[in-house]
Amino acid sequence: MKKIFKILGGLLALVAVAILGFVVWVQARGIPTYDPPKMAVQPVAITPARVLQGEKIVTAMCADCHLDRSTNALTGKFMNDLPPEFGKIYAANITQDKTHGIGSWTDAELVGLFRTGIGRDGRFRMVMPNFVHMSDEDVNSVIAFLRSNNALVKAQPIPSHEQEPSFLGKMLVNTVMKPTPVPAKPVLDPDTTDGVAYGHYLVVGRYKCYECHSKDFKTNNALVPEKSEGYLAGGTRLLTPTGQEILSRNITCDEETGIGDWTEAQFVQAVRFGQGPNGPLKLPMPKFTLMSPQEARAIYAYLHTVPKLKNATAEDGGGTVATR
């Protein structure tokens, strides 16, 4: 008997040492640093068409985090819609200021960050999404817009806030949140005349609907989005701007719990203007106001080819949001 206790005690001590070691390792590493990605990128030619396309993408995909309402520019802000257990995370100033913004970043450094999540100094950028499947041309358009004379990106000398991740935040950034590899091949534009292919690109590449609309950020698959758990069937926990928990909804075409009974016109209205058939959609569902009707219709066509999943979220009377 005594011997067993001794062995158990020894095992417990080992486990305790292992946990302590892990805690010390995570604290010491903090936000990890990697080799900055080496990108073979030509300087991006700034054309009016790219600036226009870039505006559409940046207002839909970047402004929610980087726009500060008090400057009305992309000067960054405290991310108050992030669950507080991750710590305090701040989106950076991405205006053209050479010291505090991205005015001195090269095009290759920007592309490197968008593709991998690693900054030019090697520091991993937490929470900043990576754009693995965005086409090279769309990435170029984003850069052209960031270099344009739009008021959103005009140089403003406002320092970016340092990140203050909690222990959990540091743990995640050392375990599940990882840089993504530099794409091995050019990422081509989709065939926009093929509705389903175009819609697929919009859902995983340009607008990343799948990221919010699958089961959980933690089980999303950045490299093969379709392998994300509960792909497009909703359930990811998010916060409204006033801090209430909200679940993303099922946008597969399951008739009962998804959008299988929606008409194309209802869908286009919901995505572009936030007006669903049963009432307005709450933030953080973005309003894709600059999205063209053709894009919204392509997404609708693609969603009709995605495997239907049954997942009742709050509006179907299921999956009620847990209160903390």
- Show the binding pattern over residues 127-166: x = contacts ligand HEC (CB under 6 A), - = does not: xxx------------x-----------------x--x---
Closest by alpha carbon to 148, among 10, 53, 15?
53
Nearest Cα to Cα of residue 234 among 214, 217, 219: 214
Structure token pair of residue 221: 């698959």
Does 73 participate in binding ligand HEC (rule CB under 6 A)?
no
Q: Report, in Å, the least distance between residue 201 CB and ligand HEC.
A: 11
When binding is defined by CB under 6 A, the residue of 26, 41, 177, 259 that contacts ligand HEC is 259
Please tell me the chain's helix, strand, coil percentages from 3-state DSSP, rounded to the nearest 5. 40, 5, 55
Residue 150: Cβ-neighbour burial (10 angstroms; 0-12, 13-18, 19+): middle
Q: Contact at 8 Å (CB) between 202 and 292?
A: no
- Interface residue with ligand HEC among 50, 77, 170, 249 (CB under 6 A) is 249
SS (H, E, C) 256-275: CCCCCCCCHHHHHHHHHHCE
Among 251, 253, 309, 312, binds ligand HEC (CB under 6 A): 251
* Size of residue set near ligand HEC by CB under 6 A: 46
Question: Which string of b and e fits 226-250 if b means at least 16 CB within 10 Å?
Answer: eebebbbbbbbebbeeeeeebbbbb
Please tell me the distance from the alpha carbon of residue 128 to that of residue 31, in angstroms, as a whole number: 13
Binding mask 77-116 for ligand HEC (x = CB under 6 A): --x---------x-xx-x-------x-------x--x---
Which one of 21-29, 35-43, 125-133, 180-188 is the stretch in contact with ligand HEC (CB under 6 A)? 125-133
The residue ranges that bind ligand HEC (CB under 6 A) are 58, 61-62, 64-66, 79, 89, 91-92, 94, 102, 110, 113, 119, 125-129, 142, 160, 163, 207, 209, 211-213, 238, 246, 248-249, 251, 259, 267, 270-271, 276, 281-282, 284-286, 288, 299, 315
